[in-house]
Amino acid sequence: MSSVPPPAIQMTEVSKHYRRGDETVHVLDHFTLTVEPEAFVALMAPSGSGKSTLLNLVGGLDRPDSGRIEIAGTDLATLNEAALTRWRARNLGFIFQLYYLIPVLSAARNVELPLLLLPLSREERHRRVEAALTLAGLPAERHRFRPTELSGGQQQRVAIARAIVTDPPLLLCDEPTGDLDRSAGDEILNLLQTLNERLRKTIVMVTHDPHAATFASRRIDLDKGLVGERRPAT
């Protein structure tokens, strides 16, 4: 075993195209990207340029046409569907623009869902759910609230708690502030910063909002498979 840890994400010459009618859309074209462990990277690009596609490939929800994707040294191509699913349960947290909380379940129940897959006692699950929600900044008296009884920012906090409750090393955020106003959005971005700095989570956030990108420690501009990288002017 080498003493240098492998990159959190290593994408090498990754291509992905979609067919729309007769037209072929090359979303990613020999795309290469390295994300170091414990980095907070913002991938910046306009809508429709392939940000979600990229994140889905990294999360193993979709397969590339060609090229290689390694996450913490694991080549995703070597994992079949079932293995990939198990791998996600332990290694990834997804955060989406639309939260995707189950409306009739309380915040705590929503956060508990990923834990149901792990061999934990009910007490242990409860303990972890409370910890994650507290860490995500949802006031304790709201842990039993339903999503509809929470503000957008609070719902996103619940979604973040759900993503971190299994303690995965890597968080993938797809426009996490896209549905929030500026101040609620900033709180969420501050929370992500905290998770990165204090819990050492590797975070990849895709966004089309330059302001959101300023919260990251590294910003990558992505355009039609071409990578332009520059330091954020924080």
| Residue 40, CA atoms < 13 Å, CB-side half-sphere | 20
Phi, psi of 114 (to 5 degrees): -65, -25
Sites for other proteins among residues 169-228 (CB under 8 A): none
Per-residue mark of binding to ligand ADP, 5-34 (x: CB under 6 A): -------------x-x----x-x-------
What residues contact 36, with CB distance under 8 A and at least 6 apart? 7, 8, 202
Kindly determine how many residues on this chain lie close enough to bind Mg ion according to the rule CB under 5 A. Answer: 1
Kindly tell me which of 72 and 105 has the beta carbon lying closer to other proteins: 105
Binds 109: which of ligand ADP, other proteins, Mg ion, none (CB < 5-8 Å by kind):
other proteins
When binding is defined by CB under 6 A, the residue of 7, 39, 42, 50 that contacts ligand ADP is 50
Q: What percent helix, strand, coil does the chain show, rounded to 5?
A: 35, 30, 35
CA distances from 62 to 49, 55, 57, 185 (A): 17, 9, 5, 28
Closest CA to 133 of 122, 142, 121, 124: 142
Binds 25: which of ligand ADP, other proteins, Mg ion, none (CB < 5-8 Å by kind):
ligand ADP
When binding is defined by CB under 8 A, the residue of 17, 109, 208, 218 that contacts other proteins is 109
CB of 16 to ligand ADP, least distance (A): 8
| Residue 97 binds to ligand ADP (criterion: CB under 6 A) | no
Closest CA to 206 of 6, 45, 2: 45
When binding is defined by CB under 6 A, the residue of 13, 32, 48, 190 that contacts ligand ADP is 48
Per-residue mark of binding to other proteins, 54-93 (x: CB under 8 A): --x--x-xx------------------xx--xxxxxx-x-
Which tokens hold the place of 26?
């090359």
Binds 48: which of ligand ADP, other proteins, Mg ion, none (CB < 5-8 Å by kind):
ligand ADP
Where residue 12 falls (left for φ over 0; alpha for ψ -120 to 50; beta otherwise) is beta
Nearest-angstrom CA–CA distance, 28 and 23: 15
CB of 89 to other proteins, least distance (A): 2
Which tokens hold the place of 165?
């409750």
Residues forming contacts to Mg ion in the complex (CB under 5 A) are 52
